[in-house]
Amino acid sequence: MFPSSAFVRRRLLVWGLLLVIALVVLTAQMRSPDGRRIGWIGTAIEAVLAPPAVVLSRVSGFFADAWSFITEIGTLRTENQRLTAEVARLREENARLRPDAQENARLRTLLGFKQQLPYRSLAARIVGRDPSQWFSTVLVDRGASEGVARDDPVITSDGIVGHVVETAGSWARVLLVSDSRSAVSAVVDRSREVGVVVGQGQTLLRITYLSRDADVQPGDVVVSSGLGPIYPRGLPVGTVVSVSHGTMFQDATLRPASDVGHLEDVLIVLRGGSLAR
Amino acid sequence: MRYVVYAVCAAAGTVVQTAWLTFLPLGGGIADPLVPIIMTVGLLHGSEDGALVGAGIGLMHDVMSGSPLGLGMAAGATAGFAAGLGERSLSLESVWLPAVGGAVLTVLTAAVVVTGTHLIGLNHASAAQSARATLGSACYNAVIAVPIFHVLRRLDAAVVDLYGRSA
């Protein structure tokens, strides 16, 4: 049953011989310049086995990609949901912050303008609008308790907005220059032609009572003349858009200096403190 | 004839290992279907055949894997020789034989390879890394050795039936 010692020796001899051959091959190639030389037999083996390995690798790559695609569907769905929620959150945040940024810019401009004004003024926020389409008034969050009085001019950094027509406690109603009840004594800045700017209940204003031979051209800036009881001198009212010649006077259409249709923050010029800032 | 079958199986195993199994490492170790093939030859036909076939398969593995020639040859010869020692003393019907044999021979071949690389100054892996990789390969090979051993054993028997004992 047990192998003879000669048989065992023969097997050991074969194994030892193979180990020696392997060692010789190993050390021989390590002495070669490139550290590995497989010879023509190795080249032949590689020539036979490498192509199927490449094909198999490509096949496995295809299946790996397919498997990866399948297994990633769930991940992608989760990721997609997360990103969608993230986008929604960021959009909401962006929408929430955008008005703040715009308000910040407006207030900065307003603050800068306020500091330049030779009058005492009070910043106010538009808190309400006239719901009717016929008149143009707004409610502001400053009132008599803060020194706001009837006929106080209301302006922005762009120009005249209107004037206070009602005030009480902590609110005031402002009649906008676009209201047909509004009238502002004005002068064409370039030619110093005097007229009266009236509202039309529309976006555009009209300057009337300009003399027939007045030099008025589209693009001319119209400012308050200071002759009226309300507005101080030199505040922009609007820009001439077109001029029409009447029999006795000229009229001109103005684009308001302030975007009265989209007001949010204004300055109320306190007439009682017109000598101070 | 049976050696042609083994050669074809070894070639297929080498291709599969090169193309697929190297991308599925387990603890740094990869499955090596050549070890179970060498083990099967040794267990079925003894140490001489095991060592010779193991050396040939190991050399082929060296060529295809790009490792220093002779390392796989020495490891394969040793694995085949060791497997052949159990040709008559181990029960081929044992359920555990292929798995245990695959794992043990994996450790043995790793020992030969590590020794060989140390001899030629190429081994820079730490003992822990080598042990972890060997353990991973041993686990892999223990699993794949079972089907490989049974398939090859049946193939071997079929070849004997077809071509006679001399095959």
**A60·B11 Cβ contact <8 A:** no
> Of B19, B51, B69, which has the smallest distance from its Cβ to A60's Cβ?
B19
Enclosing domain of residue B152: 2-163
Nearest Cβ partner for B19 among A37, A46, A57: A57
Confidence grade of residue B160 (pLDDT, cut at 50, 70, 90) = confident
* Burial class of residue A83 (count of CB atoms within 10 Å of its CB; 0-12, 13-18, 19+): exposed
Tokens for B10? 């070894």
Give which of A251, A228, A108, A241 is closest to A160, Cα–Cα: A228
**pLDDT tens digits for range A180-216:** 778 899 999 888 889 999 988 778 899 998 888 888 9
The tokens for A185 are: 């004594």
Residue A183 lies in a domain: yes
Q: What is the mean pLDDT of residues A101-120?
A: 76
A20 lies in some domain: no
Which candidate in A1, A7, A15, A31 is best for mutational testing of the B interface (most B CBs within 10 A)?
A15
Question: What is the model's pTM?
Answer: 0.51
pLDDT band at A274 (very low <50, low <70, confident <90, very high): very low
In angstroms, rounded to a whole number, what is the distance separating the alpha carbons of residues A4 and B100?
A: 27
* Cα A222 from Cα A234, distance rounded (Å): 9
Q: Are A7 and B85 in contact (CB under 8 A)?
A: no
- Establish if A58 belongs to a structural domain: no
Nearest residue to B120 (alpha-carbon basis) of B160, B83, B68: B68
Quickly tell me which residue has 């959009």 as its tokens: A91
In a domain, A31, yes or no: no
Does residue A181 form part of some domain? yes
pLDDT exceeds 80 at position A277: no
d(CA B114, CA B107): 10
The structure tokens 């093939």 sit at B37
* Domain ranges, residue A135: 119-277
Do B71 and B62 touch, CB atoms closer than 8 A?
yes
Q: How far apart are CA B20 and CA A195, in angstroms?
A: 92
* CATH number, residue A277: 2.40.10.340
Q: Is the dihedral of CA A27, A31, A33, A39 positive or negative?
A: negative
Please, what is the average pLDDT of chain B?
82
Predicted local confidence at residue A276, as pLDDT: 36
d(CA A193, CA A209): 10
Q: How many separate domains does chain A show? A: 1
Per-residue model confidence as pLDDT tens digits over A209-244: 888 888 899 999 999 988 888 888 888 999 999 998
Strands A183-188 and A265-269: unpaired
Letter for the amino acid at A113? F
Phi-psi region of B84 (alpha: psi -120 to 50; beta: other; left: phi over 0): alpha
**C-alpha separations of A129 from A11, A144, A264 in Å:** 108, 19, 11
CB-based contact B69 A25, cutoff 8 Å = yes
Residue A47 forms part of a structural domain? no
CATH of the domain at B146: 1.10.1760.20
Q: Are A253 and A240 in contact (CB under 8 A)?
A: yes
